[in-house]
C-alpha cells in the first residue's frame, strides 16, 4: 500500500448538495432559504444571538454568580500535605518550591483535612480554627 493509493471507505464521502439548480432537484427556486426575510437575501446577516429584535435569550435570563478576581492568588494547603513536607519551618516560598501552591499565589490558608503528628512552624500562612488547633496540639506554632 502506498500513501497515494489510500482512499476513503465506500459511502464515507458523498457529493455536496447543490442548491438552486432547477425545480426537478427539489432544491430549486428558494434553494432551502424559505420565503422572504433577512435570511433569504444575499448578504442577509445578523449577529450571534440576534432574535429579530425580540429580547435575546441571554438578556432575558437573570445573571447568576461571579468569578472572583482573587482566585488565582489564593490557595489552600491541607494538614496531610504539611505532614508530607520534610521541612519544619514552612512559609510561602517553601510551599511554592514544593509545588503545593502555584507561582502566582500570594495568600495561603491551611485547612483541617488529614492528620498532623509532627511539629511545624508556619510563617506568614493563615489557618482555619480547626487546623490551628491541630497544629498547636502537635506542638507547632503559627507566626
Q: How far apart are CA 41 and CA 115, in angstroms?
A: 69
How far apart, in whole angstroms, are the C-alpha atoms of residue 131 and residue 3? 64
> Could you tell me which CATH number the domain at 74-142 has?
3.100.10.10
The whole-model pTM stands at 0.57
Beta bridge partners of 54: 51
Read off the pLDDT of each residue in 88-109 and give the average, rounded to a whole number. Answer: 95
Task: Write down the domain spans for the chain.
Answer: 18-65, 74-142
Query: Is residue 70 very low, low, confident or very high in pLDDT (cuts 50, 70, 90)?
Result: very high
Q: Give the torsion through C-alpha atoms of 37, 41, 45, 48, to 10 deg.
A: 50
pLDDT of residue 34: 92
Q: Say if CB 140 and CB 107 are below 8 A apart.
A: no
Query: Which residue is listed with cell 491541607?
Result: 78
Residue with cell 432544491: 27
Q: How confident is the model at residue 52 (pLDDT cuts 50, 70, 90)?
A: confident
Amino acid at each position: 500500500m502506498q500513501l497515494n493509493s489510500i482512499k476513503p471507505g465506500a459511502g464515507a464521502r458523498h457529493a455536496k448538495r447543490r442548491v438552486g439548480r432547477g425545480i426537478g432537484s427539489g432544491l430549486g427556486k428558494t434553494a432551502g432559504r424559505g420565503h422572504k426575510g433577512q435570511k433569504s437575501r444575499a448578504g442577509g446577516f445578523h449577529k450571534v444571538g440576534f432574535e429579530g429584535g425580540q429580547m435575546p435569550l441571554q438578556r432575558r435570563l437573570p445573571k447568576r454568580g461571579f468569578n472572583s478576581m482573587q482566585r488565582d492568588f489564593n490557595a489552600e494547603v491541607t494538614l496531610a500535605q504539611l505532614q508530607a513536607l520534610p521541612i519544619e519551618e514552612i512559609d510561602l516560598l517553601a510551599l511554592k518550591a514544593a509545588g503545593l501552591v502555584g507561582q502566582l499565589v500570594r495568600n495561603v490558608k491551611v485547612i483541617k483535612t488529614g492528620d498532623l503528628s509532627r511539629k511545624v512552624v508556619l510563617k506568614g500562612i493563615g489557618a482555619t480554627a480547626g487546623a490551628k488547633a491541630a497544629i498547636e496540639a502537635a506542638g507547632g506554632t503559627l507566626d
